Each structure stands twice: as C-alpha cells, then as structure tokens.
Structure 1
C-alpha cells in the first residue's frame, strides 16, 4: 500500500468541504452559545426579521425546517421574549411571527458573533482568496441558479 490510510478519501473535495463545514458550524455554534443562542434560533430570528410579519408555515418553508421542529424553536424564542406569535391579520387561522425588541438586540449580537466566527474560519485566506472562495462555494452549492 503506497498511500497513507484514507489518503484517497481525504483528498476528495467532498470530504474537504465536509470537514470545513463541520469546523465552520462548530465555530459559529460556539460563538452563538456565548450569546445564549443556538444555530436554529439564529436562523429563525434572521428569517423573521427579513420576512416579518410572517406566517409560521411560510417561515418554516423559508428556512427549510420541519413544522414540528419550527414549533419547538418558536416556543423557545417566544418563552424567552424574543418573538411574538399573533393571529395573522390576513388570515386569523394562521399565526404571524415578528421580532420583539429583545429579539432584535439578540439577533444583532448573533450576527456579529457569526461574522467573527466566519472570519476565524477564513483567517488562513487573503481577502481576495476569501472573496474567490465564497464565490466558488456559491457556484457549487447551486445558489447562483
């Protein structure tokens, strides 16, 4: 055997992307934890800010979260006073979700923490390489379509 164990696997772009993604998730999760937040809380708060007031079902579709899981996240966020769920004025059968002032402040802190974590992830790259790397990730993720 001429190669080190798993050398062929560990050189695959998919393996390397997975490792980089895991490191990125870990850095962001740790940074958010300092703020008292979890990854899905950050995602949901961000989406609520961008879409509010948003029907709960539309919010779940926007973030790609199963409705049962979304209810749990929203319950936690509402209990912490970070979001409001009120009857949707356009359809009283639905809940509309919006941020509270506390939710907005937490989201600002989470966004700063996530940016700093991503800066740490990309620290080995020059600013030009960061831009190129991000552009390439967008292309291979299919987001540019």
Structure 2
C-alpha cells in the first residue's frame, strides 16, 4: 500500500522514513551484540573526547541525567567504562573508557558500518558521499 503523495513527496517525511529504517538496521545489530545506541554513543564520545564527567556526556549527547546514569551503569557492569570521583569536585564522577570498552567499540563500529552499507546498498560511491555531505549540512554537524 502506498503512502499519500502529500507525505511521500516531502523531504521531511522521506528523511523521517529513512531515519526509521537506519535506526532499525543499527538497533538490530547493536542489540544482537548486547548494546544499545546510547551505549554506543557514550563509548564513541569517550573515545573521541577523552574522559569527562557524566554531566558533560549528557550535554554532549543531549541525554537526560537519569538516562546517562542508566547507560553508564550498564557500561560499567560490562567493564567498558570506569567511574571515579573527580579529585577537584568529589560530587562529580569522571568517566573513562576501559581497554575492554575500546576493543568492544571497534566491533560495534563494524556493526554500524554494516548497517550503513545495507541502508545505502543501492547507491553508488559518489551518491553515498553526496548523501552524507548533504545530511551533515542539514544536521549542522
């Protein structure tokens, strides 16, 4: 059954549908590996930006404080991160990715790359590069 053109003929609708498909492809792969998308995002943030406070992670990713705590609890339980009190302010925790977390992240990166590949399977290399560049502009990354 086809959607009304009023919907499928708009960029906003098409981007939303593409995002839904992308989310499912990535979620299914990450979930099978025992991790969620926010877990992956936190590990990526720690790898790219170094150790930081829980609050900084939340601000960087746009996550609520309680969601950050829940994700970090899972990641710490898996041995992917450590949390230590900040020596400068004992009320804050500093989060650091562990060697186990770095190794796991490399595997998760492959799963996300696989999802990217499936999402853009029908596009040429030039079209993929163009789409990525346009999405970065739209998303203001």
* TM-score relative to the length of structure 1: 0.90
Q: Which residue does 1:101 correspond to in 2?
A: 99
- For residue 39 of structure 2, the aligned residue among 41, 55, 65 is 41
Q: Which residue does 1:119 correspond to in 2?
A: 117
Deviation by residue 1:80-119 (Cα, 9 ceiling, x = unmatched) = 2111000123333211001112211111110111011101
Decide whether aligned partners of structure 1 residues 117 and 5 sit closer, same or farther in structure 2, where only a CA change above 3 A counts. Answer: closer
Q: Describe the SS at the equivalent of 1:92.
A: strand
Decide whether aligned partners of structure 1 residues 88 and 15 sit closer, same or farther in structure 2, where only a CA change above 3 A counts. Answer: same
Q: Which residue does 1:82 correspond to in 2?
A: 80
What is the distance in 2 between the residues matched to 1:60 and 1:6?
A: 38
Q: Which runs of 5+ in 2 are unaligned?
A: none
What is the distance in 2 between the residues matched to 1:50 and 1:139?
A: 21
- For residue 23 of structure 2, the aligned residue among 25, 32, 48 is 25
**Could you list the runs of 4 or more consecutive aligned residues of structure 1 that deviate by over 6 angstroms after TM superposition?**
none
What is the distance in 2 between the residues matched to 1:66 and 1:95?
A: 16
Q: Which residue does 1:66 correspond to in 2?
A: 64
* TM-score relative to the length of structure 2: 0.93
Q: Which runs of 5+ in 1 are unaligned?
A: none
